[in-house]
Amino acid sequence: MPGASENTLFGMGNPLLDISAVVDKDFLDKFGLKPNDQILAEDKHKPLFEEIIKRNNVEYHAGGSTQNSVKIAQWMIQEPHKVATFFGCIGTDRFGEILKTKAAEAHVDAYYYEQNQEPTGTCAACITGENRSLVANLAAANCYKKEKHLDLDGNWELVKKAKVYYIAGFFLTVSPESILKVAKHASDNNKIFCLNLSAPFISQFFKEPLMKVMPYVDILFGNETEAATFAKELGFETDDIAEIAKKTQNLPKENDKRQRVVVFTQGKDDTVATVGEKVTMFPVLDIDQNDIVDTNGAGDAFVGGFLSALVQDQVLEECIRAGHYAANVIIQRVGCTFPERPEYH
């Protein structure tokens, strides 16, 4: 099979430094956190980030949805290194330096836009027993500027080098104009542009930028909740996931040389995907519920596995199989982490 080469996969999104530590109930209560939750940081949470790093056994990982996915794609491919390029915005600070180190350790070719107005974005994972409460502070990630970074000749050359593009819907809240520029480039050059619905709030509150990008989307990812919200926002008048996939596939598309592929994951239930004119169900790998440690990174991991096969020109069924494998590995570990190498054939 054709191997992947350097910079063939391009990702752009919100780079966050994941900071995870075991805390106690008092810590959660102090900051008004639920044991199992995902929230955006408010002012009252700001001191949390300084406090959590003073805990014992703090772990740092390069995070953020898109960066997680390209990191997992690189892990699945192993060699060569730097198959994935990643763009996003960080601060000129200690957390930014850690993020650069972590991205390099994961062999991702990260080109960050560095600015000093806002600190590097972070996501605190406050672990108590089996639960983890996530608090994300986008900060610098929110400051990405197309004209200050994407448009620069050297950076745009890296974009042009890629043949597969992936951006999580979360980035629609930051720089929709950057997404459009990349999506149009992919469409004009018959390359593959992939987008993720990412969260229900994207379809609800960022529907306009989402639908501006949709005509350029060759592969759309999402989970069952995001798919249902998307269908509701577009007035599909169905809650049947296969039908939602079909209707999404048939939305207007610029590049008619590629039929849109829609892939919806459903946790432990079958993954739904449009294959040509029909919708097919793909069962996920069996797993003992007791082996599941943390399902938080499962969606990002699925996409990462999928992309690793896609950049190697694999057929859709193989891409989904690789996605299922990667997700299966990630849910048996805390955070979006993985063993040294995959046992995948």
Q: Which residues are catalytic?
A: 300
Tokens 């530590």 sit on residue? 21
Helices 298-310, 65-77: crossing angle, 10 deg rounding: 50
**Distance separating alpha carbons of residues 212 and 189, to the nearest angstrom:** 19
Peptide bond connecting 80 to the previous residue in cis, omega within 30 degrees of 0: yes
Written as one letter, the residue type at 175 is S
Q: Which two tokens stand for residue 106?
A: 């994961």
Q: What are phi and psi of 59, to 5 degrees?
A: -115, 135
DSSP structure string for 187-222: HHTT-EEEEE--SHHHHHHSHHHHHHHGGG-SEEEE
Q: 129 and 36 in contact (C-beta within 8 Å)?
A: no
Number of residues in the chain: 345
Residues with Cβ within 8 Å of 25's Cβ and at least 6 positions away in sequence, in order, are 128
Distance spanning both ends of the chain, measured CA to CA: 12
Q: What are phi and psi of 127, to 5 degrees?
A: -95, 125
Query: What is each CA distance from 18 to 194, 289, 332, 334, in whole angstroms?
Result: 24, 25, 18, 12
